[in-house]
Amino acid sequence: GTTFQQIALGQKKLSKQIPPYSYWNIQFYQSEPAYVKFDYNIPRGASIGVYARRNALPTHTQYHFKEVLSGFNARPTRSSTHQPSVSREVTRYMEPGHWFVSLYNDDGDEQEVTFYASVAADMTQNCPNGCSGNGQCLLGHCQCNPGFGGDDCSESVCPVLCSQHGEYINGECQCNPGWKGKECSLRHDECEVPDCNGHGHCLSGKCQCVRGYKGKFCEEGFHIL
């Protein structure tokens, strides 16, 4: 079976020669929500896939996050072209649990990879719950992403906007079946203007206008010839 090397966050850097088209498997326990910074060193020209999954072994199709580490610099400098390896840094928000990380060498040659993982203290410290993965920690205060609020960004502001009867998508409420209105606050059999402006009556969610009035809410009067 597959074996995973047990590590602790913040311990020494680890290196391994990964055979062609093979895996280096690592596991660690995350005790509380936090941003974790991964530092990699990979050979120039190498291509390494990283698959991570919480409380289960990752596969190519089942993972919580995936990274593709390329050993090519976007714009190589004169000094960098002489270096045999390149550094890559990735920071991820991670929930508590047992994390399994697989590094895959997608190359026909053996590649030496260096791996180091540590809690990103500058992003996690002094912020409640690491901002729940829905914001950034700046000087001890959570800056929440759009759609989230609260001290730890754990509160979704979307259901409040849509009366808990819909989803807030692209700036407007998409109502659940049986609900309607700008804020999804009306049942399907209710009229947005209940009295139909005094010129009609509400029937099955639509205003039925009396003679001489028209419009969605019977707001337009017209002369009958």
- Angstrom distance (rounded) from CA 42 to CA 84: 9
Both 17 and 61 in one domain: the answer is yes
Q: What's the pLDDT score for residue 73?
A: 59
Both 138 and 211 in one domain: the answer is no
Q: What's the pLDDT score for residue 63?
A: 94
152 membership: H or E segment, kind and range: none
Both 97 and 172 in one domain: the answer is no
Both 54 and 65 in one domain: the answer is yes
- Local structure of residue 203 (DSSP, 8 states): E
Both 176 and 88 in one domain: the answer is no
Both 204 and 98 in one domain: the answer is no
Q: What's the pLDDT score for residue 24?
A: 95
pTM of the entire predicted model: 0.56
- Angstrom distance (rounded) from CA 176 to CA 97: 34
Both 58 and 116 in one domain: the answer is yes
Q: What's the pLDDT score for residue 218?
A: 92
Residue at a domain's end among 66, 98, 121: 121
Contact 22, 109 (CB under 8 A): no
- Locate all alpha helices (DSSP H) within the chain, ordered by sequence: 121-124, 158-161
- Angstrom distance (rounded) from CA 90 to CA 111: 20
For the domain that residue 202 is a member of, what is the CATH number? 2.10.25
Both 81 and 71 in one domain: the answer is yes
Q: What's the pLDDT score for residue 165?
A: 86
Residue at a domain's end among 103, 121, 139: 121
* Residue 225 burial by Cβ neighbours in a 10 Å radius (0-12, 13-18, 19+): exposed
Number of compact structural domains in the chain: 4
For the domain that residue 36 is a member of, what is the CATH number? 2.60.120.680
For the domain that residue 178 is a member of, what is the CATH number? 2.10.25.10
Q: What's the pLDDT score for residue 80?
A: 47
The per-residue pLDDT string of the chain (225 residues; one tens digit each, 9 = 90 and over) reads: 678 999 999 988 999 999 999 999 999 999 888 889 999 999 999 999 999 999 999 999 999 999 999 887 544 444 544 568 899 999 888 888 999 999 999 999 999 999 999 988 776 667 788 788 888 777 677 888 877 888 888 887 755 678 888 888 877 888 999 999 888 888 889 998 888 999 999 998 899 999 999 999 999 988 776
Q: What's the pLDDT score for residue 225?
A: 65
- Angstrom distance (rounded) from CA 96 to CA 38: 17
Residue at a domain's end among 134, 155, 176: 155
- Angstrom distance (rounded) from CA 42 to CA 113: 5
Contact 135, 144 (CB under 8 A): yes
Encoded tokens for 198: 């005094």
Both 81 and 106 in one domain: the answer is yes
Q: What's the pLDDT score for residue 151?
A: 86
Both 84 and 99 in one domain: the answer is yes
DSSP3 helix / strand / coil % (the chain, rounded to 5):
10, 45, 45
- Structural domain boundaries enclosing 201: 189-225
Closest residue by Cα to residue 29 from 96, 98, 113, 92:
98
- Local structure of residue 83 (DSSP, 8 states): -
Both 103 and 141 in one domain: the answer is no
Both 57 and 136 in one domain: the answer is no
